[in-house]
Amino acid sequence: MIETRGVGKTYYSPTAEFQALQDVDIQVSAGEVFGIIGRSGAGKSTLLRTLNLLERPTTGRVLIEGADVTDLDGEPLRRLRQRIGIIFQHFNLLKSRTVHENVRLPLRVSGQLDRAAQDQRVAELLELVGLTRNARKFPHQLSGGERQRVGIARALANRPQILLCDEATSALDPETTQSILELLLEINRKLNLTIVLITHGMDVIRTVADRVAILDHGRVVESGTVVEVFLNPRHEVTRSLLAQSGVESDTATALTPDDSPVVRLTYHGPGSEQALLSRLTRESGLDFAILEASVGHLKAIPYGRFTVRLPPAARDRLPAMLHLAEQIGIRHEILR
């Protein structure tokens, strides 16, 4: 659906040059929610903007639905952009126009519908985002979350197959963020919309994304399904981003300075609803102390992740226990 091949972006100024992106390859399949995460300045926003060519890559190609769009210009570029919706951190609505008029703008731009049909489409969109009653209001009369709903309605006006989200929830409070993310998931399912979103918050990724790419200094340092990346982060940046959202912190081994074995156990997916840990204890006959744990859902996938300490004497019975863990669907990593 969306693909970048070796995309790079360099900014030149008279005195210096800055490589915002280097050799970025991502593939987004139709209908999935693809998250791009990184610290500020990692190049996420630049990468997102190359997808609708608000930023034109210096090197590499951008493919949308298999077609190379990197060099599009003029009318063909405008038509491409009409097929790609985008929402922004600061909403970017016209403050001099009502909600209804803001949402109607893309329809006026594309000019495919007559006035009556435009108004009807706007009504549908406002219904979808739950703002029917606010059609006559001006943006300043709305809350941040409502404004982003207007942004979403506007982005969807021309029935795009792709929606880009540029830090769409970063200016919102946690509760509103949650409701906007739910709305995004809902339209992802209802309209089979492909969503690419960038964020600096892992919580956003784990609520909505199917797959994720971690960006650091303009490069993709790690990517995969969200479950994979969350449960087995390999790159240091990923770990630190996870630590910020409280999923990952490798302080456990440091806290217990002795030679008792410390193991990380993870599981996810169907089967996780069973009492896996107690079964492991029972069948292996080994008791362990849980030092750290994170249990919950990644989008709709249940997962568990535990750092456990076994008695020092259990060292020689460890391989048998880990073998058993493997059999019942628990993955492990020996930390000490």
Partner 1 sequence: MSTLFETIRSFEYWPEIGDGTVDTLTMTGLSLTFTVLIGLPVGVALFLSGPSQRSERRVTARLQSWTYNALSILVNILRSLPFLILLILMIPTTRWIVGTSLGVAGSIPPLVVAAAPFFARLVENLLREVDRGVFEAFRAMGATTRQTVLWAMLPETFPGLVAAITVTAIALIGYSAMSGVIGGGGLGDLAVRYGYQRFNVPVMVITVAILIVLVQLVQALGDRWVARLSHQH
Which positions lie near partner 1, rule CB under 8 A?
52, 54, 56, 77-82, 84, 86, 88, 90-97, 105-106, 108-110, 138-140, 154
Least gap, CB of 189 to partner 1 (angstroms) = 24
Nearer of residues 3 and 166 to partner 1, judged by Cβ: 166
Least gap, CB of 45 to partner 1 (angstroms) = 11
Q: Which long-range contacts (CB under 8 A, 24 or more apart) does 286-290 make?
A: 286/310, 286/311, 286/314, 286/317, 286/321, 287/311, 288/263
Nearer of residues 54 and 335 to partner 1, judged by Cβ: 54
Q: Are 66 and 230 in contact (CB under 8 A)?
A: no
Least gap, CB of 122 to partner 1 (angstroms) = 14
- Separation CA 66–CA 64 (nearest Å): 5
Nearer of residues 105 and 291 to partner 1, judged by Cβ: 105
Nearer of residues 121 and 264 to partner 1, judged by Cβ: 121
Least gap, CB of 142 to partner 1 (angstroms) = 12
Q: How many CB atoms lie within 10 A of CB 216?
A: 20
Q: Are 111 and 121 in contact (CB under 8 A)?
A: no
Q: Are 237 and 214 in contact (CB under 8 A)?
A: yes
Least gap, CB of 118 to partner 1 (angstroms) = 13
Nearer of residues 22 and 50 to partner 1, judged by Cβ: 50
Q: Are 125 and 113 in contact (CB under 8 A)?
A: no
Residue 96, SS3 per DSSP: coil
Nearer of residues 143 and 274 to partner 1, judged by Cβ: 143
- Separation CA 208–CA 123 (nearest Å): 26
Q: How many CB atoms lie within 10 A of CB 121?
A: 21
Least gap, CB of 143 to partner 1 (angstroms) = 16
Nearer of residues 58 and 245 to partner 1, judged by Cβ: 58
State how far the alpha carbon of 212 is from the alpha carbons of 29, 35, 205, in Å. 12, 5, 7
Least gap, CB of 38 to partner 1 (angstroms) = 21
Contacts (Cβ under 8 Å, ≥6 apart) of 220: 24, 25, 26, 213, 214
